[in-house]
A = this chain, B = another copy of it.
Amino acid sequence: MTNTKSDHPCNGCAFYQGSVWQPANAAGLSALKRGFARKDLAAEQALYAQDDENRGVFCVSSGLIAVRTHHSDGTSTLIKLAYPGDIIGYRSFLAGARHKTEARALVPSRVCIVAHRDVSHVIGANPTVLRRIAGRCVTEIDSNHARIIATSVKPNRDRLRDLLLELMERHGHRDGDRLSMHLPLSRTDLADLIGVRPETMSRLFRQLKDDGTLTVSGREIGMAVTAPSRPPEAGLLPRRHSQSRDTRRSSRVATAVRDHGHPAIPTDR
């Protein structure tokens, strides 16, 4: 059982270096090869459904996968967008529980699959793999925190602008001094991602159109390359919802300073 890099099923993948499977070797590699499969998904096709048993860990190879949670009232929340190089299904795998989310392709996509039992073997054979998966967890936690914070600190208009800028980075192409892209998501999905109703999404688009931030025609979006997030008015700091003056900035900070004379972590071991 010799193994060289060229034996690795992820070799040749553009994301090989950063792949969570990249560290696999020796015994790990054979398990990895055993459990490995590829799968092509049509647009709108589901990779797994909410409440499904976990069948393995998936790595997005191309395309775009939406990870959603459906609620009992028929609405849904778009939890995240999985791009090539991202892995999904690991939450359910690590928890040893059913999927709490649904994964569905937004555009024709390809994913690589490592079957459930073989993931365990690969991890058992090579701890570094788990280290990398943990790294992905941390990334996920970070982005969740960012989203929680954004929700409570920024108005929806700003959040939509930020989202469109992110999408532009991935899907946009430069055209003179303008960026443009074909949106990979429906308005409804955008609304789910921001956490507003579709009607509100429509109105947010109009606001951004009106203040000149972007041009819209169906799913074709354009924005000036230089003006990332400046509504023509005055420049304002990341204030909390609408503008306001600099009252506050006192209590918690002051508390931190007085702090009963305890410096943060004196490390008195």
Contact = CB atoms under 8 A, between A and B. Distances in A.
Contacts of A3: none
A69 interface: yes
A260 B42 CA distance: 9
A100 interface: yes
Contact of A144 (B148, B248, B250, B259): B148
A255 B145 contact: no
Contacts of A14: none
A153 interface: yes
Interface string A60-102: 0000000001111111110100000000000100110000110
A180 to B, nearest CB: 27
Contacts of A74: 246, 248-250, 252-253
B151 A151 contact: yes
A264 B49 contact: yes
Given A71-B238, A134-B130, A259 B45 contact: yes
B141 A238 contact: no
A221 interface: no
A252 B70 contact: yes
A72 B237 contact: yes
A253 B246 CA distance: 47
Nearest to A45: B262
A45 B151 contact: no
Contacts of A79: 145, 148
A7 interface: no
Contact of A46 (B73, B130, B262): B262
Given A55-B265, A144-B148, A264-B49, A73 B249 contact: yes
B71 A153 contact: yes
A113 interface: yes
Interface in A105-143: 113, 115, 123-124, 127, 130-131, 133-135, 137-138, 140-142
Contact of A135 (B69, B94, B153, B269): B94
A267 interface: yes
Contacts of A48: 264-265
